[in-house]
Amino acid sequence: MTLTSSVTQAPVGEHNLAVLAEQWLDRVGDYEMLLFEGTGHTSGQILDRARRAAGGLRRMGVEAGDRVVVLTMNTPEVFVSYHALWRAGAVVTPVIFLQTPPELRHILEDSGAVAAVVSPELVPLIGAAAQGLDLQVIVAGEVPDGVDAIPFMQLERAEPLPIEPRGDDDLAALLYTGGTTGRAKGVMLSHHSLWEAGSGLAVVAESMDTSRLLLPLPLSHVYGLNVLVAGLHSKRQQVSVMQRWFDPKGWLELVQEHRIDNSPVVPSMLQMLLDQPYADYDLSSLRTFGSGGAPLLPALREKVEKALGVAILEGYGCTESSSVVTASTPAASKAGSVGKPAPHAEVAILDPTGRPLPVGEEGEICVRGAGVMMGYWNEPELTAKTIVDGWLHTGDVGRLDEDGFLYVVDRVKDLIIRGGFNVYPRDVEDALLAHPAVTAAAVVGKPDEKSGEEVVALVSLRPGASADPEELMEFAKGRLARYKYPREVRIVDAVPVTSVGKTDRKAVRVMVRSLES
């Protein structure tokens, strides 16, 4: 059966994501675009399901502008849900499934969500978090016995819904930040913002000339969401193989089985791949990694490229910028850099007064352009502090070189001031990771009467490796200025990370305090 598009004739914004999806289908045709756990899904099937699910959402009372939580692992229903919600004019509110009930409760209450799409195994979580709330639950799979919920399949029995008219500046997604520095905040992204960020990433993807993508990223994170939207800008047929959740052994098996040539990852995934017997697999088809979501330390990049013979192309972005801001390409990359600004973004390095700094000087990375968020949900004062004169203040420290390449140094808030000198945790972590026994490192400051702050490192070791704290301190001392090296190194089983693989510095600080008590 051949499925064709059905773009509504109603007036919609130039950058409406539901229209973009229909234009994509017209351009690339109906083909097997998604492989998931042994089953293929065509582009036409995905959008036909979405058109009907949009009708089902409207029938159950979801209106334009309503927030709907999507709380699932990576499954085809995530694709269908996002497209259906945009078609209905609703607001995708993705949530990573590793939330605790109180964290999820905050998101449900703060967003005012009217419904939630959940995986069957996450029904107990949504039940615990939503007690007393007027929330309709839609289960993407079999509804557990005794649960009052709507099967997702029921939505798909409705008549297809025409695209709801929504303007460029209407809200398309509400993503909650990880909350590593406080309670999670809702980031408002418009149709225009996501459209432009996806377009920017698509330009980068086209330069790679790859066609078989392995997607281990959670689609509930802005990085994964950006990859999804970028795919809608594609001018050719590309196949995505999707993992329910990143599993390094499974990742290696899928690369070998499906002859994958590209995979977007976060740095922690690369480290986990190095810890696998990767030489036992045929990875000869793999050409590039796209790395983002967290800083990639030079030592890890060097190890991966040497071990796997694959180029790593780094990019930079954040939730507040709709993900991608800068990206490296095969034709334009430099070691240690996160690339040049994407077509839709402008980058400046500013000092604390908002003055632009010269080439090579370190300051706060600020971003301007269509991808910048509309603001924080219900947080006008915080929005005004974060977006000043059109510039998004990211809170990251970086510098630009004479060729326009961006280098990320660290987070402003993570800066350690030891004896009046600035110490960036990333510098210390990079030095420790160069030790052959070290697999992960996290550095924070702790109050110290003599120095103001002291540099403390948590380190985990490779399986079977050995090293003691004194050895690691001496190793770092030989690679860092005297004021930078850690005065304390503590070896732990695992360094805390967030659900998307970033170092969880809040948890690291708690661990440091607990180890001292």
Domain of 477, CATH number, reads 3.30.300.30
User: Does residue 408 share a domain with residue 420?
Assistant: no
DSSP one-letter string for 257-308: HHT--EEEE-HHHHHHHHTS-GGGS--TT--EEEE-SS---HHHHHHHHHHH
Pick from 371, 386, 412: which residue ends a domain?
A: 412
| DSSP strand pairing (67-71 vs 91-94) | parallel
Asked if residues 315 and 338 have their Cβ atoms less than 8 Å apart, the reply is: yes
Q: What is the pLDDT along the chain (517 residues), one digit of tens a residue?
A: 233 333 343 345 789 999 999 999 999 999 999 999 999 999 999 999 999 999 999 999 999 999 999 999 999 999 999 999 999 999 999 998 888 888 899 999 999 999 999 999 999 999 999 999 999 999 999 999 888 999 999 999 999 999 999 999 999 999 998 544 457 899 999 999 999 999 999 988 888 878 899 999 889 989 899 999 999 999 999 999 999 999 999 999 999 999 999 999 988 889 889 989 999 999 999 999 999 877 787 888 888 999 999 999 999 999 999 999 999 998 898 988 999 999 899 999 999 999 999 999 999 999 999 999 999 999 999 999 999 999 999 989 899 999 999 999 877 778 787 876 778 888 899 889 999 999 999 999 888 767 778 999 999 999 889 999 999 999 998 888 788 899 999 999 999 887 667 788 888 888 888 887 6
User: Does residue 421 share a domain with residue 404?
Assistant: no
User: Does residue 377 share a domain with residue 422?
Assistant: no
User: Does residue 387 share a domain with residue 427?
Assistant: no
Helix 298-308 and helix 267-274: axis angle, to 10°? 50
- Global pTM reads 0.83
For residue 101, being part of any structural domain is answered with: yes
User: Does residue 397 share a domain with residue 315?
Assistant: yes
Give me the amino acid identity at 165: P
pLDDT at position 420 is: 67
Count of positions (residues) in the chain = 517
At 73, list the tokens: 């692992």
For residue 10, being part of any structural domain is answered with: no
Domain of 50, CATH number, reads 3.40.50.980
User: Does residue 261 share a domain with residue 321?
Assistant: yes
pLDDT at position 134 is: 95
Residue 67 pairs with which residues in a beta bridge? 91
Q: Using alpha carbons, select from 497, 492, 488 the residue that is nearest to residue 457.
A: 488
What are the φ/ψ torsions at residue 213 (nearest 5 degrees)?
-105, 135
User: Does residue 287 share a domain with residue 365?
Assistant: yes
For residue 182, being part of any structural domain is answered with: no
Pick from 392, 412, 432: which residue ends a domain?
A: 412
For residue 181, being part of any structural domain is answered with: no
Q: How far is CA 496 from CA 170, 309, 406, 502, in A?
A: 37, 29, 27, 9
User: Does residue 433 share a domain with residue 396?
Assistant: no
Number of domain units in the chain: 3
pLDDT at position 7 is: 39
User: Does residue 473 share a domain with residue 434?
Assistant: yes
Pick from 412, 429, 455: which residue ends a domain?
A: 412
Domain residues for 484?
Answer: 415-516
Q: How far is CA 414 from CA 343, 425, 467, 475, 494, in A?
A: 30, 7, 27, 23, 20
d(CA 128, CA 43): 36
For residue 121, being part of any structural domain is answered with: yes
H or E stretch covering 393: strand 391-400
d(CA 70, CA 138): 9
**Cα–Cα–Cα angle for 118, 169, 176, nearest 5°?**
35
pLDDT at position 416 is: 86
d(CA 422, CA 147): 55
What residue has token string 């408002």? 188
Domain of 369, CATH number, reads 3.40.50.12780
Q: How far is CA 173 from CA 62, 186, 464, in A?
A: 15, 9, 45
For residue 24, being part of any structural domain is answered with: yes
pLDDT at position 3 is: 35
pLDDT at position 516 is: 75
User: Does residue 366 share a domain with residue 228?
Assistant: yes
User: Does residue 209 share a domain with residue 70?
Assistant: no
For residue 185, being part of any structural domain is answered with: no
User: Does residue 430 share a domain with residue 340?
Assistant: no
d(CA 233, CA 231): 5
For residue 186, being part of any structural domain is answered with: no
